[in-house]
Structure 1
Amino acid sequence: MGMWIGRPGSLREITDGAASFDRSPDLAVVEFRSLAGGVTTWAPPVRPRRLKLAWDAMQRDDVMHLDRLARRLDAPGPVAVLDPLTRNLFTGSQAAGRGADGWAWVPGEIVLHAGQAGPYVPNSVSVEKLGTSGGTELYWSHGYGPMWAGHPVTPNLVVTWWVPGLHAAGAALDALKIHWHNAANEYLSVTTQTDVSRPVVATAPAGAAYCTPSVRFKATGMWLMGESVLALGDVAAELLSGQRPSGEGCPAYSITKYSHAPSDGDGAFRDIGLELVEVTA
């Protein structure tokens, strides 16, 4: 699997391997030194990711795709990058079950006890009332909502979804779900698995541009949320073996720098450079 880059609904796979790839988060830590020699630091609450990629050579069609994205010829909005090295598409707080953002539910049915004691305190989810159908759902939303209907995908892409934290806590779950939407944020279909003791592995259907994972509760109660994973590919065996990858995120990016050298006549372009920074809604 290569790297997919583009706007949701029109992602393109870049099969040429990057010569260099830096996806370090922008920590933006500022250091203060007192006259007495003491040192203190300040770190912003938001630490956006930055991507810096470079290719020695790339085929013309792929270069033209990046060129149109960089010059915003088709749309002004941000782009998505599906990096095959990312082991968990959730943000760090989502994956750990912490913080106040990253989830959605029907008001009155669920209360998320999140962040009252600080962003590093584990969340608890309280199911107060079941819906008219006898259950209620908790959704793992994308940070760029409501602009994006979920985490970016492309048709035929395989993803793995699981909630080992809620399962270990004994939560009253009766299904794991993945909801699929198209590029216009219109609902397409849902993948449902009633065996919550193992991850659900699903393939994005035709027309899919986003996916939103969820769990369905079948009884009231309160449980620690714990860890969760949304990953590219079939990683069910690794998760069942006890691996719990931390969240690396799949943010919305803005292209801040782009360059390439002219083709040398063989159809390929040389020295392609691309830089992106994470944006929020």
Structure 2
Amino acid sequence: MTEFRALSGAVTTWAAPVQPRRMKLSWTSMEKDDALFLDRLARRNIRGPLIVMDPTSANLLDDAAATADASGPANTWAVSAGGLAVNSATRQWEFTSPSGDAVVGWRRTSWGPGQNYFTAPGMRLSLAAPVAFPETTITMFTWRALDGRVLSQSRAVGKLLSAVAPDGAHSVTLACAPGPGTFSLAGACLAVDEDAVAGDPGDGCPAMSITDYSISPVRGPGRARDISLSLVEVANSAVQ
């Protein structure tokens, strides 16, 4: 928000149409290998902006996936059978499932087409099915390696699934099988390190660039470092 004051004393305010997210991260006494990895990121050995999965976000799904609003794209989801359509009364996307094994999955619409969300071994993810899905819904994670191979699957009967990514996991496919019927897709939630809560607003996984970086040695034996990063959400990022 920017404030302008006229000579008469009247005040006018102006707000940008987009308010980018900003984030500051810091670590103390970080071990050498982890410190070197962050150092490479900050020094732009990896080109372009970074995909940030903020563990403090209530919902890592994009807003369109969380609300199922009619203004969102249909390719937010993928279905194995049945179809997707907008309900003219609620203005929400709905999934029509013809059978008990028909599946709807959430696609990663940011960062190009793809049906997988990024993860890492040991990361605890939790998926809450859309509010309208029945309690008999089968909720699923399909864990995949870097080359896309399926490593394993976690599933639960119910609208909430929490599971830990296995060794070698690079991405995960999110899916639910609600059984036959037509159901609104609103209210789905994906969270890290806590149980997902259906209906939480979607924060997404934004593109962010590192704008400030500092590293300092820690007194004592070893090669531990204190590191801090500042990041800002970007629409694009030019790299020289």
Scaled by the length of structure 2, what TM-score is found?
Answer: 0.72
Give the structure 2 partner of residue 215 of structure 1.
176
- Structure 1 residues 148 and 111: alpha-carbon distance in aligned structure 2, compared to 1, 3 A threshold: closer
Give the structure 2 partner of residue 71 of structure 1.
43
Give 1:66's aligned amino acid: L
Picking from 59, 71, 86, the partner of 1:113 is 86
Supply the distance in 2 between the matched residues of 1:185 and 1:72 (Cα, whole angstroms).
Answer: 26
Picking from 66, 70, 80, the partner of 1:95 is 66
Deviation at residue 109 of structure 1 after TM alignment = 3.3
- Structure 1 residues 34 and 276: alpha-carbon distance in aligned structure 2, compared to 1, 3 A threshold: same
Give 2:195's aligned amino acid: V
Give the structure 1 partner of residue 30 of structure 2.
58
For the 8 Å contact 2:186–2:199, the answer to whether it is kept is: no
Give the structure 1 partner of residue 139 of structure 2.
176
Picking from 246, 249, 270, the partner of 2:204 is 249
Considering only aligned residues, what root-mean-square deviation do their CA atoms show, in Å? Answer: 4.0
Picking from 87, 93, 113, the partner of 1:124 is 93
Picking from 147, 159, 162, the partner of 2:125 is 159
Deviation at residue 262 of structure 1 after TM alignment = 4.7
Structure 2, unmatched stretches of 5+, are: none
Give the structure 2 partner of residue 104 of structure 1.
77
Give CA deviations for 1:24-48 in whole Å, capped at 9, x if unaligned: xxxxx6778999969575543x544
Give the structure 2 partner of residue 269 of structure 1.
225
Give 1:275's aligned amino acid: S
- Structure 1 residues 216 and 83: alpha-carbon distance in aligned structure 2, compared to 1, 3 A threshold: same
Deviation at residue 68 of structure 1 after TM alignment = 1.1
Q: How many residues align?
A: 232
Structure 1, unmatched stretches of 5+, are: 1-28
Supply the distance in 1 between the matched residues of 2:20 and 2:80 (Cα, whole angstroms).
Answer: 30
Supply the distance in 1 between the matched residues of 2:7 and 2:91 (Cα, whole angstroms).
Answer: 39
SS at match of 1:64: helix
The percentage of counterpart residues that share the same residue type is: 30
Supply the distance in 2 between the matched residues of 1:264 and 1:38 (Cα, whole angstroms).
Answer: 51
- Structure 1 residues 32 and 178: alpha-carbon distance in aligned structure 2, compared to 1, 3 A threshold: farther
Give the structure 1 partner of residue 57 of structure 2.
86
Give CA deviations for 1:122-145 in whole Å, capped at 9, x if unaligned: 523042x74xx8643222222434
